[in-house]
Structure formats: C-alpha cells, structure tokens
Chain A
C-alpha cells in the first residue's frame, strides 16, 4: 500500500522535475558554448534529459497500479472490519 503511494508520488514528481529541468534558470546552466561529440552541449543536454524522462516513465508505468478504483478500496475496508471483529 505504502509502496503504491510512493510510486504514485514518483509519477507526480517526474513531470515536475522534468518541467523544472527544461526551463531557465537551470536550462541556462547548460546553455554555454561547449561542444560535445561535435554538437552544442545544450542540444545534447535536452535530448539526454528527454531520453531519461522516457525511460523513467517506462519503468514507472510498469509499476503503477492497474486499476485503483473503489472496488479495491472496498476490499481493504472489509479487511479492516474483519480485523475489528477479531
């Protein structure tokens, strides 16, 4: 349960981090006249960040719960009740 929460929170944090990383002022840190493999650093930075976001989403999506609807919540309520009777 708490693990599920953590993954959901991760799913929220990912786009927020992504957004922070692709706007100034952080973006301007990489906006310098440096070449890496012949291409400007800023281009390499943006594309690598992009790839990382895609990979992170891929792994997060596999661990996010399937259908967290009320049915599941109900189950846990019932479990509580049984415990209460014990």
Chain B
C-alpha cells in the first residue's frame, strides 16, 4: 500500500520534472533552435488542457450517473475543430495580426480598444475560473486521499486537506511565476510552459488509456462482457433519456467553452506560433478527445458492477486498479489526474494574470502617473511583471479560498458546466467581433453584462443552495417573494433542467441585447476602423493602422516609451529594424504613422490594445488624437480608394473606346478603298463606250469620203454605245438610290409564284432565241410574301438572263424551282453550264464584277446586276446567294420570309 507521504513525494517530484522540462524547452527556444517544440503536434497536445481533472475523473462519474451525457462535452469541441477553417482560423489570424494577448484583449481591441469591456471580461473570467481552480485543487486532494487512505483509513499523515491544497497551490504559483512571467514577451508566448503542458497531455492520455485497457481487457473480460454484466446487474445501459434539451445545451456550452475559456484562448490563439498548426489540430485534437473518452463508459459500468455499492464513481479511475491490487497502475492514474489538474491551473492562471495586469492594473497605473516610468527606465516592464506575479498568487489564493470555504459541499462538483456557461457569455460578442461589422461597444458591454447577470442569478447563485439557507429560500420563493424571478424558474419556466434554463435565458438575453443595442447606438470612428480590421482580416491588405495616430512626437520620445514597456533590447531591435527598412540610420528615423501603428501593435502584444493605445496617445502630440481627425483620415483613405477605382474604370472605358475607334477606322479605310475601286471601275466602264463614241464621231467628222453604208454602221455603233452608257448610269443611280434608301419602298402582300410565272413568260422568248430550254421544277405550296412585285421580277429576270447568257453547255437547260420551307419562300434558279469558280462565289455579288465570261467576249453586261439584286432582296428581308449543288452549273437561291396568313 502507498503511504500518503510517498504519494505527495511523487506529486512534488512530478512538478519538479515539469520545471526541468519547461526550463530546457525555454532555453532551446531562446537559442533559436527550430525544435519539435514548434511542431503542430505540440500545439495540438497543448490544446488538450481542455481535459482537466474534471474530465479525467469526472467523466467516469458522469457516465456512471448520467449515461452518455459526458460525450457532449467532447463532441462540442470536436465540431468546432472540425470546422476550424471558419471560426478558429479567423480567430487565430486576428489574434496574430492584432497581437491579441487574451480574450479580454480581443473583445476590447475589436470594440474600439474599450477598456471598460476589457475590465468586464476580466472580472467575469476571474469569477468563472476561480471555482474551477478550486475544483482542481479538490480533485487533487481527493485523489491523494483515495490512493493513500486505501491501505490505512487514517487521515493523510500530518496534513489536513487545507494544508495540502495550499501547498499544491503554492507549488503551482511558483511554477507559473517562474515560467509564465520570466519576461514580458513580445507575443505573450511561453514556450517552456507549452512544452510542459504538451508533456502533461501525453501523461494523462496514456494514464487513462492504461486504466481503460486494464479494466476492459485484464479484469473486465472485454467490452461485450462488461455491458452484459452491467445489464444483468440492472443498470440501464441504453439510457434512452440521455438526449434531450440538456444534451443540446451541453453540446453548445462545450463548443462555446473551447473558444471562450480563458485558458483555451490562451493556448489556441495567443500561444499559437504558426497558423498552419491549426490544419493538424483540426483533426488531431478531436482524435485526442476520441481516445480520451473511448474507455470512459466501460470503466464506469465495470466500476458500478464490480465495486461495492456507495463507492464514489468520480474516483473509479483510481479505485478500480486499487481494488484489483494494482497499486502501480493506480499511482500512474493518480499522476494522470494530477497532470490534468496542474495543466489547467497553470494555463488558467497565466491567462488570468495577463488579463488582470493588462486590463486592470495597467490602466490604473497609466491614469495615476502622468509621467511614464521612473528614472531607471524600466518602470513599466517591472510594473507589468510584478502585477502579473501578484495576480498569479492572487488568483491561486482565491481558488484556494473558494475550495476552503465550500469544503465538501456539492457546490464544486457542478462547477465545470457552470464555468462553461459563464464564459459562454463571451461567445455572442466574440462571434459578432469576427463577423458583424455593426456590433458596437455598448452592445457588447451590455450584452456580456446582462448575460453574466442572468447566468449568475440562474446558475451560479443556485450552486450555493445546499451551503446557504438564504440561497435555498431564494430559489424556492424568489427575491422578496417575487415568484416570477425565482432563479431556476424565470417567468414561471419551472419545468426545465436548471442548466438548460440558465443557458436559454442568459444566451437569449445576451444575443438580443447585443443586436438591439448595437442597432441603436453609433460606433465611434476607432470602433469602425477596428471592426473592419477584424471582419476583413482575410481580405484587407497588410497596411496596419497607419491612419490611426498621427502626431508630433520625435523618435526619441517613442524610444523612451518603448524602452519602458518592452525593455531596452527589444525596443532597440524594433527601431533598428524599422530604420533598416526605410533605409536610414536609427538616429535619423522619422516618425511616420506606419511606424507608430507598428509600435502600437508591439506594445499591444505586451500590455494589451487598450493600454497601448492610451500610452501612445499620451506621447503623441500630448493627447489623444481627435476622432474627427481620425475620421477625416479614414475618409481620405476611402476617397483615395474610390478615386483609384474610378480611375481604373475610366481606363477600362478608354481602352474599350480606343478599340471601337480602331475598328471604325479600319472599316472606314476599307470603305474608302471600296469607293476608290468603285470609282475606278465606273470610270473604266464609262470610258470604253465614250472612247468608241468619240472615235466614231471623229471619223464621221473628219472623213467625208465614207459611204452611206459605213456611215450608218458608225452611227448605229454610236447609238448603241450611248444606250449602253445610259444604261450604266441608270443602274449606278439605281444602286446608289437602293443603298441609300432614297426610293420610297413599299412591300406588300403578293404571291411569289405569280411573279415567278410572269417572269418566266417574259424570259422565254429570249431563251428560245438562244436555244436555251427553260424548265419549271417543283412549285411552292405557300407563296405569301411581303415584296415589291416589280423589283422582285427584276431580280428574277436578272438571274435568268444571266443564266441564259453565260450558259455554255451544249444543250443549255435552266431549271427554275420554288418551295416553301421553314417559314421561307425559296426560289432556286439553276443552269447546267460550267458554273462559277468557288473563290468567286462572294465576289460576283460585288459591283462591277463578272464571275464568268461569255463565249463571245464582251456582252454589254455591266456587273452591277447581282449587286442590285442582292440589295433589292435585302430590302424584302430576304437573301440572295449562290448555293452549292451536285450539278455542274450555278444555282442561285432567292429566299424571302413567308408572311403569316391572316
């Protein structure tokens, strides 16, 4: 059997081991080694500070009493980490960008660096965490009692509970002060502490799993066996009632707690050294929780069946190995529980001490002293370290006092969930801080305060029910006999689980207050700027708060402040770094707003955003920068942004216009060329007849000796050529008029077939004259079209005469067929001549082009016919084109839309 002295000796030795571990980790970090300490694994393990002794021992107890309820405490955080990409990633990014030092600092910084909010959050955190620390102390003393009293039932040799708890608290304080406040770090990161916490995470996991394996496989005879035996013993292994509102409330609370508990925020956000570590923690932390809870139910069930009735299920982890005579395993389990208690105490105390010193001590110190620091130049640093050390002792002593006074009452046992519900009051403001731009500082303060009040009234206060008669009366009758204000039955809601009742009212009123007050109050300029910094943390360019502060301080003034807050070395490094960046010597450093904002962030990393803001504002131009000025600067920035956007738009427009102009220019050039071509062609066409007219008339004038026959012939030629000239000019005028739309053009409803027949009749004499056979092909069934009949006939005549003229086949045949298809009236005019070369299919429709030549040379055609025809058909919304057929000859197709019959 183990003596109490031996157990205590082991515990002290364990803490000593932590000291060594933390010391060497700190040292290797200082030497700048890239060790495994910076790995995502250590980060993930340190997050498991979530699993305190309350979960180590208490989960089994809860499983024994309430079935699966304990699982909700693990599943809530699992969901948050599974969704790490959304809330956690943003939280960590904001934390790093803004050098956030605690959850109080986060909310204070987001809501206009408000110190009131910082103080409120700090107080709530202290009130919620102190009983939690007391719970850990109780777990430690209880476990020591259990493991050492099992042999001899005497009290712990020479120690009372109180002395033991005080001793442990003192040791914890020593450790925390030693490694948590060794220096005022730039980012409030404590590598030594984190390493120790990661080590403790492994210890408690291995210890719990060892007990689990021992129970299940060595004494319990397998999982199935344990369940079967428990069922036989009359234990309800199904617990069908487990999943009600309480299950959902606990899921919500634990999900909120993993974000809002000061110690979780400290580890997950503040101690995070690399954002990528979240990537691993996202799945690895749920896996840790999974392993941690895997054996809880079997241990609980086996404990219930194997141990004598009345055994405390909270201590099954220890009593089961003891009952089986395995003291070594029991000792190991004790160390596991001890490590889960100590890790919680250490991190919670560090987090609280930072909050107290940054949000309560610093502001008071700043207010009371106009002149920062004393002559030795290390005032603020010393003040910070001292206040943190004192806060650590204060918090631990408070925890001890709570433990001392609550004694063995039930008040402590339920403290875990009560603390969860307390810090859950930060959640609405925290989510609003990250996602809701309009949330205002008044909204956040009132929401948190009212949520806190409701929580204190409905959950915290009733936890004293058994230790105070006054509280018990209050619960049963309400204050001053006001029944509707009874703590566990607000407004008559009496049939609810007290936890669900409290969470419902506190969170509801919290959220409603946040929304309503935010909507009805105006944000200050600083708030608005900070809101954008937080909400847009992923989309904003890294430009810091360059606009925020502007003043007339010299680099020396700032150096003076920085030395006092950050210490000489760190301040020197910052100034040197910035000077190097801007390419000047440190002595010549000019104070730019960019530099000031960076310095403010560095200061914020040590004393919190609110205090840093106050400190710098004091130095700069002897007071705070007026909000109007800030606003103006912000507006200017906005204007610049808008201006550049406008400029960009204009540039785009200009570019588009230039493109259009270029296009227009190209088409103009082409048109110009076409015009030139047209003119030269016209001149050519006109010149030929003119030349012959001139030469023949000259002959007639100069030669008197021409006989009548010849004279007649000459006059005839002159006559023909003039006719041709007139024709040419007529056609040009016609085409011109068509193109310009000068002629009045009236389409009317006509029968296409009728016009076609008429045309064929007109053309047949010419065809007969030339021995060309005109063949009528298929006929259209529907021929109602909107057209100008004479003009349409002109087109047909043009095409048919062309076909007659150019047909070079031995037995020339022209086939004319018509049809109505797909809403079009279509006329195909095909010949069996040699056809038109493929490359000419478009050219023939141009002015003065001739696709083919007759056998007999020049024929008097002008090459305008098809161009005119196409123009005409266009006016009837139709098309004229040369189509490809299987036959050798050319086939022209006239396509005119059918009109709907009325």
Contact = CB atoms under 8 A, between A and B. Distances in A.
Interface in B228-267: 228, 237-238, 240, 242-244, 247-248, 251
Given A12-B85, A23-B247, 7 more contacts: A11-B86, A22-B79, A23-B251, A42-B68, A54-B283, A55-B283, A84-B652
A57 B81 contact: yes
23 contacts: A11-B85, A16-B83, A22-B75, A23-B243, A23-B247, A27-B243, A31-B242, A33-B240, A35-B224, A37-B223, A38-B227, A40-B237, A42-B68, A43-B68, A47-B290, A50-B290, A54-B286, A58-B283, A60-B85, A64-B85, A64-B279, A66-B276, A73-B539
Interface in B251-299: 251, 275-276, 279-280, 282-283, 286-287, 290, 294, 297
Interface of B: 68, 71, 75, 78-86, 222-225, 227-228, 237-238, 240, 242-244, 247-248, 251, 275-276, 279-280, 282-283, 286-287, 290, 294, 297, 538-542, 652, 655
In order of increasing CB-CB distance, the 3 nearest A-B pairs are A38-B224, A15-B83, A57-B283
A28 interface: yes
Contact of A39 (B79, B81, B227, B538): B227
Nearest to A27: B243
Contacts of B542: 70
A24 B810 CA distance: 94
Contact of B280 (A8, A51, A61): A61
Contacts of B248: 23-24
Contacts of A66: 276
Nearest to A22: B75
A19 B82 CA distance: 10
How would you classify the secondary structure of chain A's contact residues: helix, strand, loop or mixed?
helix
A15 B80 contact: yes
A57 B82 contact: yes
A2 interface: no
A15 B225 contact: no
> Which of B75, B228, B251 is most buried by chain A, counting CB atoms within 10 A of its CB?
B75
Contact of A53 (B82, B225, B227, B294): B82
B283 A31 contact: no
B238 A42 contact: yes
Contacts of B539: 70, 73
Interface of A: 8, 11-12, 14-16, 18-19, 22-24, 27-28, 31-33, 35, 37-40, 42-43, 46-47, 50-51, 53-58, 60-62, 64, 66-70, 73, 84-85
Contacts of B82: 14-15, 18, 53-54, 56-57
Contacts of B540: 70
A78 B306 CA distance: 71
A38 B247 contact: no
B78 A50 contact: yes
B68, B227, B238 — most chain A CB neighbours (10 Å): B238
Contacts of B237: 40
A23 B247 CA distance: 8
B675 to A, nearest CB: 33
B243 A31 contact: yes
Given A24-B247, A37-B224, A61-B279, A15 B655 contact: no
A35 to B, nearest CB: 7
B228 A38 contact: yes
A1 B283 CA distance: 24
A22 to B, nearest CB: 6
A12 B86 contact: yes
Nearest to A16: B83
A77 B117 CA distance: 40
A43 B290 CA distance: 12
A16 B40 CA distance: 25
B79 A61 contact: no
Contact of B240 (A31, A37, A43): A31
A43 B295 CA distance: 12
Nearest to B228: A38
Nearest to B222: A38
A16 B287 CA distance: 18
B859 to A, nearest CB: 52
A19 B251 CA distance: 9
B238 A57 contact: no
Contacts of A42: 68, 238
B319 to A, nearest CB: 23
A73 B542 CA distance: 13
B86 A70 contact: no
A62 B244 CA distance: 36
Contacts of B85: 8, 11-12, 60, 64
B238 A31 contact: yes
A30 B576 CA distance: 65
Contact of A50 (B75, B224, B275, B297): B75
Nearest to A64: B85
The residue among B79, B82, B83 with the most chain A CB atoms within 10 A of its own CB is B82
Nearest to A30: B243
A19 B79 contact: yes
Nearest to A34: B238
B244 to A, nearest CB: 7
Contacts of A38: 222-225, 227-228
A16 B86 CA distance: 12
B594 to A, nearest CB: 18
A15 B79 contact: yes
Given A22-B75, A23-B248, A24-B244, A68 B225 contact: no
B644 to A, nearest CB: 13
Nearest to A35: B227
B208 to A, nearest CB: 16
Contacts of B81: 57
